[in-house]
Chain A
Amino acid sequence: MSGEGDANVFVADNICFGFPGKRSVLDQVTFALKERHFHVLVGPSGAGKSTLLKLCAGLLNAKEGTFLLNGSAADCSQRLMQSVYMPQSDTLLPWRTVLDNVMLTLELQGKQSAEEMQERAMALLDSFGLRDCADAYPDQLSGGMKQRVMFARTMLKNVPLLLLDEPFSALDSLTRKQMQRWLLDVWQRDRRTVLMVTHDIDEALLLADTVLVLPSEPGETVQALEVTFARPRSFELIYEPAFVERKRLLEHMLLGGDNL
């Protein structure tokens, strides 16, 4: 869906970062996120994808470089206010029901009455296909269901930028496909700017408007690959020659050109 509103809402400009006492993880990382586009970040493990997402979220402070939100520099607290980060692992609170887990987002803001919060959370659970498990505890849910609850909790924070760290990595491949379809569906309605990390190349190409490739060695540039398949996308897409061609290109970018 390129063409409409291609403004860069979020820019990372020459970001450098390293954990104290370790060699640098990210060096001069530069990329831009377009408004209401779905961006997928791929790269070898250990390349610093999670670290980069936490930097974007304002959870970490860059050593050098600036982040721009709608054109103006954004420090940690501004990034914290304008984005939401969903970590990779299971972060549901096991002592809270599904409804209470989702309501946490509103509870932390503390602006609404209990009934209002409940109503909003319930409405979202409904549209996410979770109405029936509102009173269940997380340990009673399947992996896919848990992931949906985490999405609901994350998306209830009303911010323009969603930062998703490998949301499907813990799921079996079938559930994963269902969840990709589900996420496409949810996102199509929601249409916020997304930056999502994944390991899965098919997943990246199915979901993304733009795939960003984080290099394995700090210092190399982040490459971007535009994915222009029409939306809504079907799962049959992965068998089409145009898809295979993109996939070849992306694998080439990830692994380098020297084939065996």
Chain B
Amino acid sequence: MTFLVLLAVLLVWELMVRIFDIAPYILPPPSDVLIAMWDARDLWGQHIWMTWSEAMLGLAISMLIAFLMSVAMLRSLQLRKALYPLLIVSQTIPLIAISPIFIIWFDYTIWSKVAVAVLWSFFPIVISLNEGFRSVSPERREMMISLGASRLQIFRLLEWPTALPSFFAGLKMAAAYAVIGATVGEWLGAERGLGFFARRASNNMQTDLLFASVFILCVMGLLMVYAVKYMKRGFVR
């Protein structure tokens, strides 16, 4: 169904552009985009690989930091009381406005892009993980303690499994955000990657190539979201 809707949209788009004779640098028809994508087939590989690596590295680092931070907040009530409001408030920071700082710090290396990907993907994970840990019922915890569970057992057998569905919900969002973050980073300063490619295309008024890279980015984001969904099935009943 979704596929049919998508096809219909593309068809209408194609027709509109042809009927109203819109200049290709304003809006190229989907067929032009496909042709441009095909013509540039030798170029995509390196850019895709670059963006993919940055997004994956960023996501992994986000997960690690978010995990450590959430566990610390689970253990210490004071820490949670101090940090939680900050996390919520930080949601309102326009991430795109502070992204350039990482280009200044890490220059044109891969790490400036990874850092921006971390910035974009970190909050969904840490917030959902926190919500997950907070949803552990006090009664279940008391039950575990009374049955003789150690701190580690309570974490492994109660707290972590309780937080898992929420964690995956956050991770799914974060996966898409990591791709966006990597692209933004590349847009701001890079020599390779889909964001860099899209920016160059945009500067050169190669709108068909711009759309082609956006299309590839969408597919990449979707693939990551589906990968997380698939992974979740192995963990959550």
Contacts and interface: CB of A to CB of B under 8 A. Distances in A.
Contacts of A87: 139-140, 142-143
A91 interface: yes
Interface of chain A, helix or strand or loop or mixed?
mixed
A7 B140 CA distance: 33
Interface string A55-92: 00111000000000000000000001101111111010
B146 interface: yes
Interface residues of B, number: 18
B205 interface: no
A87 B147 CA distance: 12
Nearest to A88: B139
Interface string B128-158: 0000000001011011111111100100011
Contact of A157 (B142, B148, B157, B236): B148
A57 B147 CA distance: 10
B2 to A, nearest CB: 31
Interface stretch (A103-111, A172-180, A235-243, A252-260): A103-111
Q: Tell me the dominant secondary structure on chain B's binding face.
A: helix
Nearest to B144: A108
Contacts of A154: 147
Interface residues of A, number: 26
A89 B138 CA distance: 10
B233 interface: no
A4 B158 CA distance: 41
A19 interface: no
A182 B140 CA distance: 24
Interface in A126-160: 137, 153-154, 157
B34 to A, nearest CB: 46
A91 B139 contact: yes
Contacts of B140: 87, 91, 93
B161 A93 contact: yes
Given A54-B142, A95-B161, A104-B157, A89 B137 contact: yes
A223 B169 CA distance: 52
A85 B236 CA distance: 28
Interface of B: 137, 139-140, 142-150, 153, 157-158, 161, 236-237
13 contacts: A57-B142, A81-B148, A88-B139, A89-B137, A91-B139, A91-B143, A93-B157, A94-B237, A105-B148, A108-B144, A108-B153, A153-B147, A157-B148
Given A57-B142, A80-B145, A95-B237, 13 more contacts: A80-B146, A84-B146, A86-B146, A91-B137, A91-B139, A93-B161, A94-B237, A104-B147, A105-B147, A108-B150, A108-B157, A157-B147, A157-B148
